[in-house]
Structure 1
């Protein structure tokens, strides 16, 4: 018999002895646990104080266990092992005592705070650390040479997004257990040590966005056989890529883009069978592609902006998982391989600016859901493939500057996702298929330089902002219905065969900035009223048959810079109102104009503006030699001469006074703006990779994506490959409206001080005396309401917003609101929660936006002077109370939940009822809940019980009595409970039933 004897065989003394040992062990364990509780709590409370007592840590107190505090995780003995304090507003340094009593600390995450100082050597004393993450703080200085004194068991080391300088210490190669090494977005300007190649367990290496001393990639990196991610984007690499990269048998993701690499791509890269993403764009790579391609898992290849030559290999057709193929801006030649059109996953195909020839593969788009197609700037011939949009997802079709022929495929009429069609400078014939004109998302149609014919339609896509059809064979009249083209910004239709008069409704287009209709056969007089053309900068109507006078109204187009009315049959005087314009170019040549030219144009800058108008004249001292003198030889009476003399003196006096006034005004402006270069002030809230000039230079109508009561919103590209920000501008040439000023300050005050992954990130604000500009992260999928209520979803891809994704959006928005209500001190209420203020990124992750109406709750009485919010989302208590609290946001969020479940808009109900009232009436009358659901999710039997429960939660949140509504943390708990315990609908039902008696039943 082995081990301890059975209890019945123990003698009495032995029983007493074992009992004593057990009691001692228990007491020791309890004492140890109490010791951890006391000493570690004291350490954490001191840390809280050293880090500025941030409101986010207000639950850290002396009366509770640290294991119950947010961001603190303990082991079974009650000792702290994990600190996760992301985005908590921490300030100051990491103090030296952090490891004294947190001796079991394994993971420290201080990401996205405001901590400063040099690298925290104090972490050397945390001997059990497995993970260190201090990314996105303000640490500075050089990394210590003895960095290997960190815990020998360290697996994750993330110092990205700081301001470290100098070398990466070679000693980093001694941390043999490292699996994740992040040093991206610093100011490292020294060497990239070859000792990194010793980290045999490394899975991820990210050194991107540093300016290392120019050097080749160490060949020792090839020894990292377990590496799956290698990120060296924009790190000043030069020379050839090492052939040893082919030894990285587990490599999934390689990004060496935006460097100065040269030579050929190592052939072994295309033999790595696990490789999925290969980014080598923006280098100086040359030579041909390797013939062998065995990387059958590749999903993205971007080797654009290099000097690659030769043909596109047939082997690309074997990559049956390929989604993105970017080969543009190289020197590739030959035909496009037919095999590429057979790839079932291909979404992005971009080969513009090469020397490709031959016809396009006819099955392109037939076997995959192609999203972007760009073959511009080649020497391609033949027709456009008929099936480019068979998958229904194509949003950009770009094939300009080739030798393509035939008609534009009629199948494009069904391509509702199309935003941009650019087919200019080809040889297309026939008419534009009528359905293309009205594609829902079409914003740019550029067909200049073809042989297209037909007439303009009365109705076009509501979003069409750019129409370029110059140098074709279009004919007929400009339709009266052109006034419905309300978003039109650029209209270029020169050198066609349009006839008839310009309709007066043409001038109703308030966003039109460029108009080219020269070289047609237009006749009649110009419209006499043009006040809605207040955005017009360019007006070209030359080489037509226009007659009658030049309308004085042109002189009031304040933004007009370029006016060409030459080669028409215009007559009469040149209106003096044209002198009000600040024209860069003016051409009124070859007309039938008479009289004296306005004084403002009597100078050499306009010497060729009036050619071939024999009845025009200029003053006696005019420098314009091709106009005759207006003075005649007829005698004037003494009285007339005297009047002229007196008038001249009066004009001289007025001119002198005006000149002095203008001089003083200009001196004031010069002092105000020129002498002070900082007329624009930029305040940043995050690390920026752009300047104010990048933003200000891009505030053009072409970049406008939305406008509303609070200002215009622009989509601005800040780099290549689709890196964008969104800029909202509040502008008034006189004075910023007080209300907008308050909204601007509110948004800065709130978004500049809070950080959460479900709240839109305010990157910076840019302001001048008369302009206010807010710059945010860009949300690719815009707002939730576009997907719920726009035609886009229902007509093109109804399954995009399936139930799991809707729930994901609801949870994300609830997390943002919960943070504002419960984790901010003082709490913040949004006051304008609605589906259009819930933005979605590329993964449909929700961000709460537009904090112009938000209010910070104080300890005093919180009242409002006016109703805030949007119709359908405003809680009923606003009708009788000015009190403001978080339950108003809960009501609005409940409406959003009902929108997600029913697909209806907030104001949509029966008769005068809004959505919340309608849903409540349906429920209280015992009608089938299924009938109220959005048809797109009504058939989802797998999630039906969950959909019903969220419908019920929406009713609870929109209860008439504020006190009957749950708090956001309770709402989030219910939503997350469903998310975490998919099989426990009974638990979710019970959670909702807590509120059922006082909410749903009485709604």
Structure 2
């Protein structure tokens, strides 16, 4: 063989190898081209949305660098294995070309606006798919019976927070590789295939919560799912008892069966489980005692609130060294709180209010843990507050009202500048109240009434304090001269002295000012006319003298309640006071002279001027029981004789006689009124109308508005230890507009007919010819508006964190969704706003104030209402051009609330060019990044930033100009419900649960 032949033969393997490599590269290039073309086909099917602008071969030839695209590495380079487009605001359905990507194993399209039926035709061709997330979209209709046509390699199927309905098909259990099955928060009905699901031996995550399944017992078959780590079955009509067989689920870390109709006792295994970290069994009808032997050493959160549980708190809870959240409220627990609870090193939130606990709080409570929230109100606790509650500098809330605590306020708490809420009312505290507290930078609420505190008020109160209720103590000193953030100041029956501030400009935000029964002297300053927001003014029972200056009280246009009785005021009543529109007026037991302003000469004020011997009226038939100003003859002579006689008897005797006469008249009036009252109960009550009427006092007023005055009263007695209620009082005099009657009837009609955990509960209606009362459950934490919009000044209180804001949004959405979709006749609220969303002690939100509510037309008739109602900034644009509006007005208003929650801005800033809804729309149109729209106080929480932006976007959608384009409230609820609530097993739990 020649050398040349030898050389050719030796090069042959190299040539063949090069040909193979070239062929492989050619094949890879072909596969890459095929994948790129498939992605471009997907983009075209979605209409080329700007969110996918990076999917452009001209700008980025390598499709593996396109947004949301993941490719295989190594020999399979260029093959698309994953598409992740969560939160891209995509519309339409799932494009069929997506399954032309033969290597696709992961498809994540969560948090978009995708619609239509389940895309079975498109997805059944994805033979390699292992991860499918279509959650938080708007898919609807039933799931296909052949859903098992999906890839048999499917490990995760997430369809939660959509609008799927009908029954869950048994075929879903014929996906043998499933590890995570999430079907929660849809519209599924009927029976779910428990037996079939229980065959999925590898299942680790199962969520069926928030669906309207047919009532059924907790499926004992699930005990076979021994690999489960996460089981969420809230609010799905479960009945019966928690199965003992579930003790086989040894890998569980989260176990939640909340908001069902479960009965029986909590099985011992639940609190003895080796791996459980979170247990949620709240809002059921569970009874019995908690197991004594608690050994769930990994337990972080335990919530069994709102049940019928009895007995004592197990001593063994003090051994749970990881416990951070303990919620036992609204049960029937008794006995003492174990001292070992105070030694738990991670306990930051303890909620045991509304029980029957007795004894003292653990003395070490707060010293060994980052305690932030302490809710122990409405119990039978006694003794002092522990010194170390704020030892770690994290305490922000103390709710210890309605107990029998005693002793002095702990000195260390007097230095706890992190506190923003202090509720100690109705206890037996004594001693000096620390003056430093009044300057705490984060403090907003101080309610310490009905104790025996002493001390003085500083002249300047922290400008973040919005509410002070300190009545029935022994405080001395003067009324503060500066409290720019103060809305409510109730300091009745203390020992306050001195004069009212001569310049009241720094109290200009006051809405309620009540200081009866003190020792205030001097005169009424003209500058009181600066209190233009004042609804209620009570200066009675003091030593105020001089004349009422013209242009002072008479210019308080918002004033509805005025009580100046029992002072030493003299001279004439200024004519400008006749311009006031008062529902209650008392100027008795003073020294006024001259003619009463004509507009006050009406029967409604017949008892308003008693004990003023020199007042008169222009007409004898005024109904005021005062003499006419030109009355002479025998009556005039008799009056002169009486004046001389009273002068001889002396001032003390005069006041004594007048006082006795006043008391007799008042008692006769009250006796007469009680007999005329009629009470209509909407639930089982443990009090009578007399209990309510005898406790209504002007010093108990907590708010007022165009439709009435609201009182907070505590009804004692009963085996529950009494309760606190809110009472709205609406007068029915001839001067009151018929509009109030209509609003009263509307509120009774609406609230009396519905029951929902997120709608404020109307307990009863009490009415007479003179007035009408609505008695509600009392909401301790006031309105959402109070917690959001007090940050325009330095040193403002710590705002609500994002998980709490999200929880409030979900709660309020549930209430509105129930009104719109689940009532026999849909109800439109028409005045949804942050000030009408009330918060209970646990920040559970409830919709309130139904004075403008209307029940929509019956099925088959137009679902709309006429007449404009609402608040500027929350009112939708259709009020300007439509005579009839639908429930979408509530969706718009709620969208504004969502924008408030996410941006921290007010709905209508009078100093701003645009209302919040218009500003948000314009900013949204500018495009991402949108991080700058997020409230600066929550912007640092990167883990939840995407959820905040999703809710912001939802707010923009809800406030769309065209009503038909807005989602329904049920759709809004579905969009909200999953945010930071059901984390995937692979996610870090950075966002707290909203439940």
Instruction: Decide: shared fold, TM above 0.5.
Output: yes
Could you tell me which residue of structure 1 aligns to residue 991 of structure 2?
none
Could you tell me which residue of structure 2 aligns to residue 346 of structure 1?
347
Unaligned runs of 5+ in 1: 1-10, 635-665, 678-688, 730-739, 746-762, 784-819, 853-1003
* 2:53 pairs with 1:53: no
- Structure 1 residues 777 and 299, CA gap change in structure 2 (3 angstroms): farther
CA distance in 2, matches of 1:523, 1:459: 20
Could you tell me which residue of structure 2 aligns to residue 817 of structure 1?
none
Which of 487, 493, 512 matches 1:514?
Answer: 512
Contact between 1:52 and 1:92, CA under 8 Å: does it hold in 2? no
Could you tell me which residue of structure 1 aligns to residue 555 of structure 2?
556
* 2:540 pairs with 1:542: yes
CA distance in 1, matches of 2:942, 2:54: 34
SS at match of 1:263: coil
CA distance in 1, matches of 2:614, 2:323: 69
Contact between 1:690 and 1:718, CA under 8 Å: does it hold in 2? no
Q: Deviations over 1:763-788 (max 9, x none)?
A: 999779xx9945337469x89xxxxx
- Structure 1 residues 294 and 13, CA gap change in structure 2 (3 angstroms): farther
SS at match of 2:898: strand
Contact between 1:699 and 1:714, CA under 8 Å: does it hold in 2? no
- Structure 1 residues 615 and 440, CA gap change in structure 2 (3 angstroms): same
CA distance in 2, matches of 1:439, 1:775: 30
* 2:774 pairs with 1:706: no
Q: Deviations over 1:844-889 (max 9, x none)?
A: 859789999xxxxxxxxxxxxxxxxxxxxxxxxxxxxxxxxxxxxx
CA distance in 1, matches of 2:158, 2:932: 38
CA distance in 1, matches of 2:833, 2:473: 37
Contact between 2:442 and 2:798, CA under 8 Å: does it hold in 1? no
Could you tell me which residue of structure 1 aligns to residue 81 of structure 2?
81
- How much does 1:244 deviate? 2.1
Could you tell me which residue of structure 2 aligns to residue 948 of structure 1?
none
- Structure 1 residues 186 and 387, CA gap change in structure 2 (3 angstroms): same
CA distance in 2, matches of 1:600, 1:397: 47
CA distance in 1, matches of 2:618, 2:798: 49
Q: Deviations over 1:263-306 (max 9, x none)?
A: 21122111211001111112221110011111011011111111
Q: Deviations over 1:64-102 (max 9, x none)?
A: 232231111222242211111122232212233432x21
- How much does 1:157 deviate? 0.8
SS at match of 1:488: coil
Q: Deviations over 1:158-178 (max 9, x none)?
A: 112211112222222222211
* 2:38 pairs with 1:38: no
What is the root-mean-square deviation of aligned Cα atoms in Å? 4.2
Could you tell me which residue of structure 2 aligns to residue 119 of structure 1?
118
- How much does 1:253 deviate? 0.9
**1:246-261 matched pairs, under 5 angstroms:** 246-261=247-262
- Structure 1 residues 454 and 315, CA gap change in structure 2 (3 angstroms): same
CA distance in 1, matches of 2:557, 2:330: 41
Could you tell me which residue of structure 1 aligns to residue 716 of structure 2?
none
CA distance in 1, matches of 2:231, 2:900: 26
Could you tell me which residue of structure 1 aligns to residue 383 of structure 2?
382
CA distance in 1, matches of 2:9, 2:228: 58
Could you tell me which residue of structure 2 aligns to residue 992 of structure 1?
none
- How much does 1:427 deviate? 0.8
Could you tell me which residue of structure 2 aligns to residue 155 of structure 1?
155
Contact between 2:464 and 2:790, CA under 8 Å: does it hold in 1? no
Could you tell me which residue of structure 2 aligns to residue 653 of structure 1?
none
CA distance in 2, matches of 1:80, 1:843: 28
- Structure 1 residues 183 and 540, CA gap change in structure 2 (3 angstroms): same
Could you tell me which residue of structure 2 aligns to residue 143 of structure 1?
143
- How much does 1:317 deviate? 0.8
Could you tell me which residue of structure 1 aligns to residue 181 of structure 2?
181
- Structure 1 residues 532 and 378, CA gap change in structure 2 (3 angstroms): same
Contact between 1:394 and 1:415, CA under 8 Å: does it hold in 2? yes
Contact between 2:931 and 2:949, CA under 8 Å: does it hold in 1? no
- How much does 1:43 deviate? 2.2
Unaligned runs of 5+ in 2: 1-5, 634-736, 748-757, 761-778, 814-831, 836-871, 878-887, 906-921, 954-995
Contact between 2:503 and 2:527, CA under 8 Å: does it hold in 1? no
Contact between 2:783 and 2:834, CA under 8 Å: does it hold in 1? no
- Structure 1 residues 114 and 773, CA gap change in structure 2 (3 angstroms): closer
- How much does 1:423 deviate? 1.1
SS at match of 1:563: strand
415-424 or 598-607, which moves further after superposition?
598-607
Contact between 1:765 and 1:774, CA under 8 Å: does it hold in 2? no
Q: Deviations over 1:340-389 (max 9, x none)?
A: 11111111112111111112221111221211112111111111111111
Contact between 1:766 and 1:774, CA under 8 Å: does it hold in 2? no
CA distance in 2, matches of 1:124, 1:722: 34
Could you tell me which residue of structure 2 aligns to residue 752 of structure 1?
none
CA distance in 2, matches of 1:615, 1:133: 82
Q: Deviations over 1:560-595 (max 9, x none)?
A: 222111222222232232233332222222222233
CA distance in 2, matches of 1:543, 1:300: 51
TM-score, normalised with respect to structure 1 = 0.66
CA distance in 2, matches of 1:772, 1:241: 39
- How much does 1:843 deviate? 5.8
403-412 or 170-179, which moves further after superposition?
170-179
CA distance in 2, matches of 1:204, 1:47: 31
Contact between 1:233 and 1:259, CA under 8 Å: does it hold in 2? yes
Which of 837, 840, 860 matches 2:940?
Answer: 840
- Structure 1 residues 704 and 152, CA gap change in structure 2 (3 angstroms): closer
Q: Deviations over 1:477-497 (max 9, x none)?
A: 335xx22x2111111110111
- How much does 1:701 deviate? 6.3
- How much does 1:22 deviate? 3.6
Q: Deviations over 1:163-209 (max 9, x none)?
A: 11122222222222111122222222332321222222122112223
- Structure 1 residues 202 and 476, CA gap change in structure 2 (3 angstroms): same
* 2:493 pairs with 1:498: no
Could you tell me which residue of structure 2 aligns to residue 169 of structure 1?
169
CA distance in 1, matches of 2:393, 2:799: 27
Could you tell me which residue of structure 2 aligns to residue 65 of structure 1?
62
- How much does 1:259 deviate? 2.2
SS at match of 1:776: helix
SS at match of 1:49: helix
SS at match of 1:504: coil
* 2:193 pairs with 1:193: yes
Contact between 2:902 and 2:934, CA under 8 Å: does it hold in 1? no
- How much does 1:396 deviate? 0.8
CA distance in 2, matches of 1:397, 1:165: 44
- How much does 1:456 deviate? 1.2
Contact between 2:397 and 2:421, CA under 8 Å: does it hold in 1? yes
CA distance in 2, matches of 1:235, 1:264: 19
SS at match of 1:405: strand
SS at match of 2:477: strand
Contact between 1:837 and 1:850, CA under 8 Å: does it hold in 2? no
CA distance in 1, matches of 2:811, 2:416: 25
Q: Deviations over 1:665-717 (max 9, x none)?
A: x99x99xx99xx9xxxxxxxxxxx999xxx9x9867634533659xx999797
Could you tell me which residue of structure 2 aligns to residue 951 of structure 1?
none
SS at match of 2:287: strand
CA distance in 1, matches of 2:377, 2:496: 29
- How much does 1:832 deviate? 7.6
Could you tell me which residue of structure 2 aligns to residue 94 of structure 1?
94
Q: Deviations over 1:105-131 (max 9, x none)?
A: 111111122211101112111111001
- Structure 1 residues 319 and 721, CA gap change in structure 2 (3 angstroms): farther
Contact between 1:413 and 1:439, CA under 8 Å: does it hold in 2? no
- Structure 1 residues 320 and 14, CA gap change in structure 2 (3 angstroms): farther
